[in-house]
Chain A
């Protein structure tokens, strides 16, 4: 599997959201998409997943334009998990994950398909919840169910919009570790939107920093996450260092317009070098 995105653009009526986004990924890569609120991360992911039709540009999977794939072809190649999945008429956890097998199913559910579902449930520690309905789950459990559904599609490209947003730190690490393992062992591509720069830097070898709908920087976390880039994109002063775990980012304070006044709080651009958070 090879993912190539060329000149991807998208507008909501009146204002551009994405402009000329380009990226490439090879099998076995885990990429993260970071950027401030409203920078177009979710829109970018939706365009990749064909949930939104881009105004310009194209997404290619193994050289084939995604726009030309049939629904079934798309569903078996690409799994997408939005930030939130509203459930009006909740299914049981088992059925919700089984939906991921829809592209492989006729009317009834064969043993092979059930096996895949049960495997995925086990992988995400959801077995004991299989018979519960989604409305009885916590936010984090729901999020794992959504991920499980996408995994049950057995896609070669996984697009995840903040997969760790509702997870506690342990489940954050578990889910990201699992994704890392999937990337290594099965050679799939995982492309995820993350807010947490530390997690992004630690688990993704490639990073895209989005700013006002454009790719501001791309490359390894070390290349992308510099104090200058963070200041330019987020408007935040940050301190970075590297230890054995990975690149660590601590946001200190907004570069400007911070109401309590940096001086009062004893930190800020002026005396940030004092280095006391």
Chain B
């Protein structure tokens, strides 16, 4: 083709592409598609979200019914309905105590702890843009363990056991040290501009430091202290009380709602820091606020339950399989999945070998790992890369 014809061709092409541009925003497009591809996608996600809510409610009711004390189903319903409507039923007082003071708080703590850990985990993954991130990635587990070890081994009145008071010392210590570690990591990493790699490496480094501290305290501890500390480090929901729930619930709910406000920002961050910045996201502020909130959530949970691993890492990934990577859906879905996972694991933990309890951390790994691996290898799509 000689150049002149070529140019004429070109001239034809330019405005042709331009016509399309000029016509926007076209009137027909929006009207013809009441149910566009996006509506379809969102609809399916909402359905899955609703399905998980139903599943969780069913699981809670089911878990309350399962246990070592033989209580008839009818009696349990009587007690639950009586508790809700505040009318004393005909149930035996013993059964009432077991259900209302033991099983129900424990089941609800499993739901709250699982949901909080998964919520904190999914946000950490998004903030650090790292599929390996979990709620503990910024040193919370190491810091909280060290705090708990300090309280158990060196704390006042622990061995002589003034029961309740000493338990709160451990809780408070674990919480404060967990959160302090996050602040420390942020303080150090901000010297180098808060890149995710810096944050993660600082977290890992400080983790080693704190675990050395825990080892030292273990070495110095007496038999009884060691046992108490080991149990705490394994994590578990044995100590569930209504007080625990009333302390944890408002914290968990508030932080989760605040974190949910960052959903669009997290979506934008998934496209890279530069793109997020261009979309109006203040990346440094998002990282700081998001990580502090997620750490607060995780620390509060860990303080009451000890270190429960795996849930906070895996629930978000199962969530990604289910609803994709839009954090508006992913955060609530992850929370629900985390709650379901931990509830299932804890119910197994307290019933499989009754009357002996198996530490829940062992169950989460025994059941969770094969389940997760099967998902991982069966999935055609990859929700991270």
Contact = CB atoms under 8 A, between A and B. Distances in A.
Contact of B271 (A99, A105, A130): A99
A241 to B, nearest CB: 11
Contact of A96 (B7, B25, B38, B271): B271
B318 to A, nearest CB: 14
Contacts of A112: 30
Contacts of A107: 263-264, 328
A117 B36 CA distance: 11
Contact of B270 (A49, A91, A130): A91
Most buried by A among B37, B42, B279: B279
Contact of A177 (B13, B22, B282): B13
A270 interface: no
B280 interface: yes
Going nearest first, the 3 A-B pairs with the smallest beta carbon separation are A71-B280, A244-B3, A181-B18
9 contacts: A70-B280, A71-B280, A75-B278, A87-B272, A91-B324, A94-B38, A102-B281, A118-B30, A131-B37
B41 interface: yes
Given A82-B272, A88-B131, A123 B21 contact: yes
B11 to A, nearest CB: 11
Most buried by B among A73, A75, A115: A115
Contacts of A173: 13
Contacts of B41: 92, 94, 131
Interface residues of A, number: 66
Nearest to B20: A123
B378 interface: no
Contacts of A103: 279-280
A95 B270 CA distance: 11
Contact of A82 (B20, B26, B275, B320): B275
A94 B325 CA distance: 12
B4 interface: yes
Interface of A: 46, 49-51, 70-75, 78-82, 85-92, 94-96, 98-100, 102-103, 105, 107, 109, 111-112, 114-119, 122-123, 130-131, 133, 135-136, 146, 149-150, 153, 173-174, 177-178, 180-182, 184-186, 243-245
B278 A87 contact: no
B267 A245 contact: no
Contacts of A109: 38, 42
Contacts of B182: none
Given A85-B272, A117-B38, A80 B278 contact: yes
Contact of B277 (A51, A90, A136): A51
A85 to B, nearest CB: 5
B6 interface: yes
Nearest to B263: A107
Contacts of A98: 38
Contacts of A46: 274
Contacts of B14: 177, 180-181, 184
Contacts of A174: 17
B382 interface: yes
A109 B329 CA distance: 13
A89 B383 contact: yes
B48 interface: no
A102 B274 contact: no
Interface stretch (B74-82, B122-130, B332-340, B347-355): B122-130
B322 to A, nearest CB: 13
Nearest to B4: A244
Given A119-B24, A181-B18, A244-B3, A149 B275 contact: yes
Contacts of B383: 89-90, 133
A114 B36 CA distance: 9
A98 B275 CA distance: 13
Contact of B6 (A75, A135, A244): A244
Interface in B254-295: 263-264, 267-268, 270-272, 274-275, 277-282
B178 to A, nearest CB: 26
Contacts of A133: 324, 381, 383
